[in-house]
């Protein structure tokens, strides 16, 4: 967002990319991801004490102290399209990914982004991992290619500016590793590491930092974010329409000027009965003949305004919407993931306890009772782990909610960009219109050759003399 405005893609690049997109997505899916092993709470505490693990933050660890300016300054990543064809049949699309922070420029394919996101979800299941643009299996047109490039750029910038992701080795590998096996490198970095719960020193103490009404706060925050998302979605749609109208206006102005010039360049001779007005018609034609230049300049100004609003307004709205959507996805993962597993574990535990009571009442063999007791102990450990994960998930949600509010001042950035675009666009077009008017003095000349605007016709369509 703070970097160079995105330039429109060259037609040749987009066209080649559109041909190659289907082949890119036909690649074999990524290999199965490593899954963290189930570890008892005692082992979790021991692992957290290792010196290579995340360090205890200073002050209240639940509270974030970042500002929007600090997050935006972490990095600015550019994603540009580089279509490349190899062989007669094999084609694929590559993106040049450039990071200001790492001073790096690497080439990535769409499937590299997929593995990168999978590793983030594997290591940070309780954080806002942005979604990737969807696949399109039946080919891709220019509009789809450009939309995907923009979406990938938003994705990687949100990740690069996240307080945790920005310090993780997975991000550094993705942005700076220049080898051909980046997917394997990303997977190797996550093998046998476990997720954030296994590596955070505060994981087993997350409950101690949470407010007593965390569940009520979570429900209120989720509703608030949902409302903000819906409003910004409507704002984005309107902004897209405004930018699109400016681009359509540019095309109309260009055609308008060309048609006026076509009238001025017409060489058809006047009929004899119109000879008395030949001088007037000749003057009009001379004035109209060169208007395509001025109207082309007007069209260029209108197109510039539309493109600027696409880059500075629509894209910032899309970036914020992507962030809000990642928060909504995180809330669903919390409810359908750790919370659901916790409830299932409790249900299984209650069934086993009933079985234990039934076995004792029926005086079963001691071996079967001991096996059932062992299973109950295992389930109790699993429930304890799930309980700890549930509180840690709420702990992370609390921090991610704060992160959303850190990004809320982006609204003022968007409004400022929109207002500045409108002011600058109208100012530049107004200057061109004012420069154009004296060139049409002969069209507006009155009876005494004084410059007067053309009269408005009365209702019958005739102008009085």
Question: Mind listing the pLDDT tens digit for each residue in 287-316?
Answer: 888 888 889 999 999 999 999 999 999 999
Burial of residue 209, with CB atoms counted within 10 A of its CB: 0-12 exposed, 13-18 middle, 19 or more buried? middle
Architecture of domain 243-267+279-442: Up-down Bundle (1.20)
Question: Mind listing the pLDDT tens digit for each residue in 45-91?
Answer: 344 334 333 344 456 888 988 999 999 999 999 999 987 655 445 56
Question: Mind listing the pLDDT tens digit for each residue in 185-210?
Answer: 999 988 778 889 888 999 899 999 99
Q: Distance between CA 126 and CA 331 in Å, rounded?
A: 9
* Domain residue extents for the chain: 68-200, 243-267+279-442
Are β-strands 91-99 and 104-108 bridged in parallel, bridged antiparallel, or unpaired? antiparallel
Chain centre distance of CA 183: 22
How far is residue 301 from each of residues 99, 242, 294, 435, 440, measured CA to CA in Å? 32, 15, 11, 14, 20
Chain centre distance of CA 92: 23
Report the pLDDT value the prediction gives residue 360, as an integer from 0 to 100: 61
Q: Cβ distance 100 to 160 under 8 Å?
A: no
Q: Distance between CA 79 and CA 9 in Å, rounded?
A: 11
Chain centre distance of CA 270: 61
Report the pLDDT value the prediction gives residue 448, as an integer from 0 to 100: 47
User: Residue 22 half-sphere exposure, CB side, CA atoms within 13 Å?
Assistant: 9
Residues of the chain with pLDDT under 50: 1-12, 26-57, 87-88, 447-452, 461, 463-465
Read off the DSSP letter of residue 59: S
Report the pLDDT value the prediction gives residue 439, as an integer from 0 to 100: 76
Architecture of domain 68-200: 2-Layer Sandwich (3.30)
Chain centre distance of CA 370: 55
Q: From the CB of residue 155, how many other CB atoms can be counted at a distance below 10 Å?
A: 23
Report the pLDDT value the prediction gives residue 60, as an integer from 0 to 100: 81
Report the pLDDT value the prediction gives residue 417, as an integer from 0 to 100: 94
Question: Mind listing the pLDDT tens digit for each residue in 248-271?
Answer: 999 999 999 999 999 888 888 777
Report the pLDDT value the prediction gives residue 73, as an integer from 0 to 100: 96
Are β-strands 77-85 and 91-99 bridged in parallel, bridged antiparallel, or unpaired? antiparallel
């Amino acid at each position: 967002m703070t970097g160079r405005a995105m330039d429109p893609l060259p037609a040749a690049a987009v066209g080649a990319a559109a041909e190659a997109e289907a082949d890119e997505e036909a690649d074999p899916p990524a290999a199965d991801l490593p899954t963290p092993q189930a570890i008892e709470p005692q082992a979790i505490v021991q692992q957290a004490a290792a010196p290579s693990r995340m360090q205890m933050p200073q002050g209240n660890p639940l509270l974030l102290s970042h500002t929007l300016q600090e997050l935006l300054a972490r990095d600015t990543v550019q994603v540009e399209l580089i279509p490349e064809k190899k062989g007669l049949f094999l084609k694929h699309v590559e993106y040049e990914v450039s990071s200001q922070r790492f001073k790096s420029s690497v080439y990535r394919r769409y499937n590299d982004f997929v593995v990168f996101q999978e590793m983030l979800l594997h290591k940070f299941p309780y954080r806002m991992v942005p979604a990737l643009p969807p696949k399109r299996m039946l080919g891709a047109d220019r509009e789809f290619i450009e939309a995907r490039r923009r979406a990938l750029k938003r994705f990687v910038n949100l990740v690069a500016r996240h307080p945790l992701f920005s310090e993780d080795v997975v991000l550094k590998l993705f942005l700076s590793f220049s080898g051909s096996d980046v997917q394997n490198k990303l997977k190797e970095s996550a093998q046998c590491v476990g997720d954030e719960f296994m590596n955070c020193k505060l994981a087993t103490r997350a409950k101690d930092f949470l407010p007593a009404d965390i569940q009520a706060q979570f429900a209120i925050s989720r509703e608030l974010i949902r409302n903000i998302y819906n409003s910004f979605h409507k704002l984005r749609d309107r902004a897209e329409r405004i930018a699109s109208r400016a681009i359509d206006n540019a095309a109309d102005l260009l055609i308008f000027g060309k048609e006026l010039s076509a009238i001025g360049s017409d060489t058809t001779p006047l009929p004899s009965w119109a000879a008395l007005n030949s001088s007037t018609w000749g003057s009009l034609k001379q004035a109209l003949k060169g208007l395509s230049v001025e109207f082309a300049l007007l069209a260029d100004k209108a197109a510039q305004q539309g493109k600027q609003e696409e880059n500075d307004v629509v894209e910032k709205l899309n970036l914020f919407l992507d962030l809000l959507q990642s928060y909504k996805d995180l809330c669903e993962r919390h409810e359908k993931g750790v919370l659901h597993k916790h409830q299932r574990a409790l249900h299984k535990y209650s069934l086993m306890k009933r079985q234990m009571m039934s076995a004792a009442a029926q005086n079963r063999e001691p071996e079967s009772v001991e096996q059932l007791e062992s299973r109950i102990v295992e389930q109790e450990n699993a429930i304890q782990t799930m309980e700890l994960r549930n509180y840690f998930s709420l702990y992370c949600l609390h921090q991610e909610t704060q992160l959303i509010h850190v990004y809320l001042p982006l609204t003022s950035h968007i409004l400022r960009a929109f207002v500045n675009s409108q002011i600058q666009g109208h100012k530049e077009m107004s200057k061109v219109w004012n420069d154009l008017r004296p060139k049409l003095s002969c069209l507006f000349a009155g009876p005494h050759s004084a410059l007067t605007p053309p009269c408005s016709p009365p209702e019958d369509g005739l102008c009085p003399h």
